[in-house]
Structures are given as C-alpha cells and as structure tokens.
Copies of this chain bind each other. A is one copy, B any other.
Amino acid sequence: MPGIREPLLPVPGFSAMGINIGIKDTRLDFGVVSAQAPCAAAGVFTRNNFPGAPVLVGREHIAGGRLQAIVVNSKNANVATGLDGVEHARQTCRALGDALGIAPHLVLPSSTGVIGVPLPIGKLLAACGEAPRHLRADRTGLETFARAIMTTDTRPKAISLRCGGATLSGVAKGAGMIEPHMATMLAYLFTDAQVPAAVLQRQLRAAVDASFNRISIDSDTSTSDTAVVLANGQAGPVDEAAFGAALREACVYLAREIARDGEGATKLIELHLRGAASPEAARALAKSVINSPLVKTAIHGADPNWGRFVMALGKVFAHPLRLEELCIDFGEPGADGPPMRITAQVPAAALLERISAYLRRPELRIVITVGHGPEEITVWGCDLTEGYVRENALYTT
C-alpha cells in the first residue's frame, strides 16, 4: 500500500482501532490506540502561539512521562474553541479512560481538521464508550488507526522497524498547513522496547529535529502538531543508540511520506545543502529554497529555471554567499548519468534539457553547494500545484 513501508507490524502489548462516527461522511474519523499497561512516553508539540485545546491538555498529561492510550478525531481540530474546547478534550479523555478502566491523565487527546468549529462532543463521548470492542492487536488495528487520523492526506503513512528483540511502529498524517517547528502534524510511534521516559524524550526530540522539522509543504505551521512515542517495555531493554537510530529512521520515513503526500503535490523534493558556514545558515538557506513558491512551481512545470534557486538563496539576507562558489547538482551522478551541474556560468542548452527531463520524475534529489563551510542539512518538500490551490480555496465549505 503506498505510504506504508512493509511489513507493517503490530507491537506486542498495543491494540488499535479506527471507525467512522459521523464527523466525516463515511470515511474513518475516530481512532484509539491502547496499551495493556502504562508506558514510558515522550512528546513534542507545535510551537504555534495558539495551540489547539488537545495540545494544551496533551502537554499536561504527558508531563509525567507516562501514557496508556491515545484518542484522535479528524475533520475538526478543536482549535480556537475557547474554554469549551479544553473541557471537550478533558471530557474525551475521561470517557475513554472510563471505557478502558484507566486514569484520564494517561490518555493523550488529539484533534486535526478545521479550526474554529466546536467539536461534536456528543459523538466523541459515545465513540469512546464503544472503542474497547473495536480494538484489535493485529496489523488491521494499526492500519485503520492510520486511516482514521487522515484529513486531506491521500493515503495513510506507517512504518515498522525491528530493534534488537523489540518492534517500533509509527503512523503519521500530514497534507497541509505543514512547516512544523519542534513537532509535526500528527505522528504516533509505539514500541515494546524498554526505554526510560527521559531517554525517550531526548531521542524523540533529536529524531523530530532531523525529520519532521525539516519538511515543508506550504510554510504554514499548524496549531495541532504533535509527535508522541509510547514504550511499554514488554520486549525488555534494547541498545540505546540502536533504538535512537531506529526512531530517527522511522521519523524520517514518515516525514518524507508527509512531504510526498502534500496537498496537491505531484513530486517529493529532497534538497541537500552543504558547505554552509553555520547550522543556522544551512537551515535558513535550505528552507528558503524548499519554501520558495517560484522554485516549487518551476519544479512542478519541470522548468530548469535555476535562476529561481539563486534568488531564493539570495533572499536570506542574514547569510550572504559568493555566487562563484555556488553549484547546484540535480540527481545522483552515476545513478542518473553524467553530473547535471549548474554553476555561476550560464549553462548550455543541452544541460538544461537534461535537467528538465530529470525534473519530470516523481522523486527528486537536488544538492546545493553554497561554499566551503562545514555544515550541511537535508530538507524535504514538494511542488506547488493548481491542486493545492483548488483544495485550499474550498476546504471548509
């Protein structure tokens, strides 16, 4: 299934479900993941100054480093809904806690969708009561959960990795309002490895910084971004470095899938920028290119309009570059034939034709060398299409 890296493995000790409760028409809109016992938990959340009600409640509940269940609805973000919104998030946690026989503060609530519309709380409370009989410990449980959290996503995103004797499975959703800062839209990871909450939090932050914080679909930062990992410890201890690497690999996979499935997107762009003087310069320059509407539309049109890369690098006023040190490589030399390199010299027409042909592919790699500095970074994005505009001109109505 596109978006799901096979095999998708259920994690021992966790069960999950996704159903339709009538917030969307017929598609899945309500999901729960439940663990048999309290888990070590870590989370990072949006830096948007107007976080959604579930983010406010979720931050409280995860503060102790322990969680046992997650409850998510899609189609309604429960953001900018005032004190009622916060009370609705609390009620949902209480209702699911009652149904599962666990304390409300061990439940993390999430909502994603339209901002500024009251949550249909009646539907949610009824669904929490029904949740236990839908929970499944098999692959299908996790798959339906991954579908239930989707908004404008065209496909679910999920991955499983093995780490020693433990399993790590993660699911995520993305699509629009995506330039996460310190978090992502929604990503949930589950493992039976035994990892202390403090280690988990440090490793999650590092993994998020190398993955979700490096993607951009439209430069808009959601009010609901949430990434959470739960470890139930059933598989016993694992090598810490190996687990950190697995967590990072899972987050990078999910982040790439979110970029690939951006609203209206037809192409995944992987941009590697190297030779920067500082980490700040590397990030600012790479983000400026991956966010530039003119770069994104040129790539959509397979137009080798490299001048727009120059413009996008040049508008990062704080980090000036030398044009004669700049070079832009399209594709992987070798794998994609002879190098396709743009430098300060005006390129030959034949080279531009080869680059245009390359830009018609659905997955692109572009390497920009900006100087002789020691810093480099990889970021991911997507093209800007008429589909993005169509989708967003008529989303709530």
Chain A contact residues, CB within 8 Å of chain B: 47-51, 77, 79-82, 114-118, 176-177, 181, 218-223, 291-294, 297-298, 300-301, 303-308, 310-317, 319-321, 323, 344-347, 356, 384-386, 388-390, 392-397
Which chain B positions have C-beta within 8 A of A396? Answer: 298, 303-305
Q: Known interface pairs A177-B294, A389-B386. Does A50 touch B346 (Cβ–Cβ under 8 Å)?
A: no
A115, A181, A313 pick with most chain B CB within 10 angstroms: A115
Q: Name 17 interchain pairs, CB-CB below 8 A, sorted by A.
A: A48-B314, A48-B315, A49-B314, A49-B319, A49-B321, A79-B311, A80-B310, A80-B323, A117-B346, A223-B310, A223-B314, A293-B392, A297-B393, A298-B396, A300-B393, A301-B394, A388-B389
**Contact for A311 among B47, B222, B294, B305, CB less than 8 A:** B222
A297/B388 in contact, CB under 8 A = yes
Tell me the bound Cα distance from A314 to B49 in angstroms: 4
B49/A303 in contact, CB under 8 A = no
Of chain B, the residue at the smallest CB distance from A306 is B116
A220/B315 in contact, CB under 8 A = yes
A221/B176 in contact, CB under 8 A = no
Of chain B, the residue at the smallest CB distance from A223 is B311
Question: Taking the nearest CB of chain B, how far is it from the CB of A190, in angstroms?
Answer: 29
B346/A118 in contact, CB under 8 A = yes
Question: Taking the nearest CB of chain B, how far is it from the CB of A354, in angstroms?
Answer: 14
Tell me the bound Cα distance from A310 to B294 in angstroms: 26
Question: Taking the nearest CB of chain B, how far is it from the CB of A323, in angstroms?
Answer: 6
Which chain B positions have C-beta within 8 A of A320? Answer: 49
Q: Which 3 A-B pairs have the closest CB atoms?
A: A115-B307, A301-B393, A50-B314
Question: Taking the nearest CB of chain B, how far is it from the CB of A81, in angstroms?
Answer: 6
